[in-house]
Amino acid sequence: MIASIAEQFTDIIHKLKPLDDADNIVVLFSGGKDCSVLLHLLCNTFPDRQIDAIMAVYPKQMYSPESLARIEEYWKQYNVNLTILIASEDDPDQC
């Protein structure tokens, strides 16, 4: 039987031990599906560690203020300290 992605991830992390000496974990976070899966896997694998995520939003119109508030609130329930950095200018090609 094939192990779940979460089980495979946990096995690899415990085998390679890249985070053994880390008190906290910092992740760059785009808000997309792949980064969200990674953040969930880290939360499940290291429930006793502080996880900080940094989300850089560019162009600034990529997410509405309401969407950013929902993303921030969602990750609070997993004790992720999410810092959102928003570009100071719009992308002129996206307006």
Instruction: Name the β-bridge partners of 28.
Output: 54
Least confidently predicted of 11-20, 52-61, 73-82: 11-20
Of the candidates 36, 40, 45, the residue with the CA atom closest to the CA atom of residue 11: 45
- The model's pTM: 0.77
Share the mean pLDDT of the chain.
87
29-32: long-range contacts, CB 8 A cutoff, minimum separation 24: 29/53, 29/54, 29/55, 29/82, 30/55, 30/56, 31/55, 31/57, 31/63, 31/71
pLDDT digits (tens, 9 = 90+) for 53-69: 999 998 888 899 999 99
Contact 34/58 with Cβ under 8 angstroms? Answer: no
Contact 43/80 with Cβ under 8 angstroms? Answer: yes
